Amino acid sequence: MAFSPAALSMLLQARQNPRAMLAQVMAEMADDDPQLAMVGQYLASQPVDEEEAEIEEELQPALSEDDTHSGAQAAELQSMREELESIQLQLLDQNEWVQDAADRNAELAAALGACPQCWGEDDGCSTCGGTGVPGAFPLDRSSFNYYVVPVLRRLRLTQGRRPPPSDGAGPA
């Protein structure tokens, strides 16, 4: 599920901090995609850095006041709103990146015949019950040809070659 522009607009108007917005976006999207739930949990568990905490502290009083401000306050508020907008755009970029990664994961799982949710590592998985290791399901030929065949070709080319001589010291 893509995060709707209407929902994003509602979040922007609510003037939530970016971390809360990220958590809400991930929670809403996680209903349809457990992978996003895991990413959302990871991102939510990350400590707030000092700069983010300072920005949030600066924004909260300004956002809670009504819109009648002196010239200096209005300029500072505008600057903070611009910074918030920049952070919100970064959030949207991160959301797009997470969705792209989830899509790529699903394609690779299909190429290998694995469960796209857990890869057979979760006995409680609603998709496979923990049995979806690579090779458990029929392969998606198109994905297999895209992701796996080039690797097999590369391996075949290197099999005929001898490894470089070793000096006995092991890996560098």
Question: Could you read off the pLDDT tens digit of each residue along the chain, which spans 172 residues?
Answer: 455 555 555 555 555 556 666 666 666 666 667 676 777 666 666 666 677 667 767 766 655 554 555 778 888 888 898 999 999 999 999 999 999 999 999 999 999 999 999 999 999 999 999 999 999 999 999 999 999 999 999 988 888 665 555 454 444 4
139, part of any domain: yes
In a domain, 170, yes or no: no
| Helices of type H across the chain | 5-14, 18-30, 34-45, 50-64, 71-112, 141-147, 149-159
Residue 169 in domain: no
Domain extent, residue 136, equals 5-64+71-159
Question: Considering its fold, how many domains does the chain have in total?
Answer: 1
Residue 96's pLDDT is: 92
In-domain check, residue 167: no
pTM above 0.75, yes or no: no
26 domain residue, yes or no: yes
